[in-house]
Copies of this chain bind each other. A is one copy, B any other.
Amino acid sequence: MRRWNGWGDDSFNLEMPDQGQAFLAGRVGAGHPLQDATLESVCAQVPASRLSVPAELAPLIDTAAETRVRHARGQSLADWLAMRSGDFGVFPDGVAQPQNSDDVQSLLTWAAAEKIHVIPYGGGTSVAGHINPEDRGRPILTIALGQMNRLLDLDPESQIATFGAGTPGPLVESQLRAHGFTLGHFPQSFELSTVGGWVASRSSGQQSLRYGRIEQLFAGGRIETLQGTLEIPTFPASSAGPDVREMILGSEGRIGVITEVKVRVTPLPEKERFHVVFFPDWDSARTASRKLVQNRIPLSMLRLSNAVETETQLALAGHPTLIGLLERFLSARGAGDGKCMMTFGVTGSSRQCRHALQEARAVCKSHRGVYTGTRLGDKWAAKRFTMPYLREALWQMGYAVDTLETATDWDNVDNLLGRIEANLLDGLAERQERTHVFTHLSHFYGQGCSVYTTYVFRVAESYEETLDRWRTLKESTSRVIAHNGGTISHQHGVGKDHAPYLPVEKGELGMLAIRSLCNAFDPGALLNPGTLIDTETGTRGRTK
């Protein structure tokens, strides 16, 4: 069953090898776990619902305490701390589970009449506070789209599939696979996140290099708004004015509720493998990765770990004897201390894979890369969606882990990466606490790449102090990103946590554009208030 207070299915646990625990203790000190609240104790706190549900909508809306608890928070570290402490703050007043677009339109009509605030909910995997209710003095209805999880139509000639917006990753892929197709959108949240959520938050998958970001995959669909139904027809491309698709992408529930999503799909590839190359230092590694993408070598995935991430991954991998052999092999070929690990995917016909691998290896070799085959790549592929479970394993050991991500142009990658890591490394120094910080580049573009940083710190003696540690790190590093040429998010979206930094990126007139759009569809600000646009003063998007 899905965990009510953490990531994923409670039957799955990621084991942390002993040497992993020792490695972390050496970096940030020994951990001491905090006590978790029970589901019962949290349910007991849930206040009476403020909704007066009319009879015709009653079958759609659940106001039971447990349902409201299970839809109150996403997966940010702040959400995690709220769920573990039991200190949720605000709960939705009810959770609607519509069966179709018409149900959603009925719910919106009712919400508009009653001035109920509405939060669209896909897989509940937001790490930026998108789906968290806030107390604004009005009842709050969460609309959870999980019942709308079917492949509704497939046009195999135009390669367009239509899905209910609540379809999660595995159901997207399994329903397509039955017809010989794939969407190819694999965010780390794949197991739970939904196609509607991907559109609403401008998601990007691990193989965006081949399949594109959700912007390239989203072909059209249906959005229920307070002004009626917005249908976006599919065209392969158009010069007919500003693109309405692009206004829905990243709208985070402020314009309407996405109910049907048409996506561009691809026949299942003949072949797919993931290869690993080690580089002697960061400079060669970064340059090689830039060359791979700027030379348009048709890889399907590319990820480059910096030296600390490489070291950490090898330390947490288990199998110390094998890893020791690997390190001796690499060291003999020039990739010793400071080495950086690159993983790349080749996908397509056998011929395409052969050509792509040939070209990629040539580029890597010319930058002193040591090719190690597909063994480590296969490991990455096998574990590609299990990383979020690591938080659970670390939590049990008394550590908190979070990630920060951005994207920037190539000429700014080292500057921004350096500032982010320095800020996180130093962020708890005043409290005499250390952090462990490492980074990888992923989602490569001719112009630049995303920068994805992970940081680990010890939980404090109380939840309050732990949350405060997190907030100190998150907020100061978000400022570093926003003021040093990074986007406030490359793939997680804005939500409530990033909303205060959005105006730095968009500028006053960019915000005018976005606000005018939201206002046109939702003049009363009933839809997901506080998300995307930081409408209230001082709340900073947190529920407490």
A interface residue numbers (CB < 8 A to B): 155, 157-160, 201-204, 210, 213, 215, 219, 225, 227-244, 246-252, 264, 266-267, 290, 294-296, 298, 348-349, 351-352, 355, 358-359, 407-412, 443, 445-450, 485-494, 498, 502, 505-510, 512-517, 519-521, 532
With contacts A157-B410, A160-B409, A408-B235 known, is A241 near B502, CB below 8 A? Answer: yes
Contact B158 A448 (CB under 8 A): yes
User: Measured between alpha carbons, how far is A484 from B486 in the docked complex, in Å?
Assistant: 43
* Residues on B with beta carbons closer than 8 Å to the beta carbon of A359: 351-352
Contact A235 B487 (CB under 8 A): yes
Contact A240 B498 (CB under 8 A): yes
Contact A237 B450 (CB under 8 A): yes
Of all chain B residues, which has the CB nearest A443? B237
User: Measured between alpha carbons, how far is A155 from B411 in the docked complex, in Å?
Assistant: 8
Contact A266 B443 (CB under 8 A): no
17 cross-chain CB contacts under 8 A: A155-B411, A157-B290, A157-B410, A158-B412, A158-B447, A201-B239, A203-B239, A225-B509, A235-B486, A236-B407, A239-B489, A239-B491, A239-B494, A243-B249, A244-B510, A295-B349, A512-B521
Contact A509 B228 (CB under 8 A): yes
How many Å from the CB of A544 to the closest CB on chain B? 24
Contact A240 B487 (CB under 8 A): yes
* Residues on B with beta carbons closer than 8 Å to the beta carbon of A215: 243
User: Measured between alpha carbons, how far is A520 from B412 in the docked complex, in Å?
Assistant: 33
* Residues on B with beta carbons closer than 8 Å to the beta carbon of A219: 447
User: Measured between alpha carbons, how far is A252 from B240 in the docked complex, in Å?
Assistant: 10
* Residues on B with beta carbons closer than 8 Å to the beta carbon of A449: 236
User: Measured between alpha carbons, how far is A295 from B407 in the docked complex, in Å?
Assistant: 29
Contact A516 B514 (CB under 8 A): no
* Residues on B with beta carbons closer than 8 Å to the beta carbon of A494: 239-241
Contact A202 B238 (CB under 8 A): yes
With contacts A240-B250, A242-B514, A250-B239 known, is A509 near B227, CB below 8 A? Answer: yes
How many Å from the CB of A449 to the closest CB on chain B? 6
User: Measured between alpha carbons, how far is A519 from B519 in the docked complex, in Å?
Assistant: 12
* Residues on B with beta carbons closer than 8 Å to the beta carbon of A249: 242-243
* Residues on B with beta carbons closer than 8 Å to the beta carbon of A443: 236-237
How many Å from the CB of A474 to the closest CB on chain B? 16
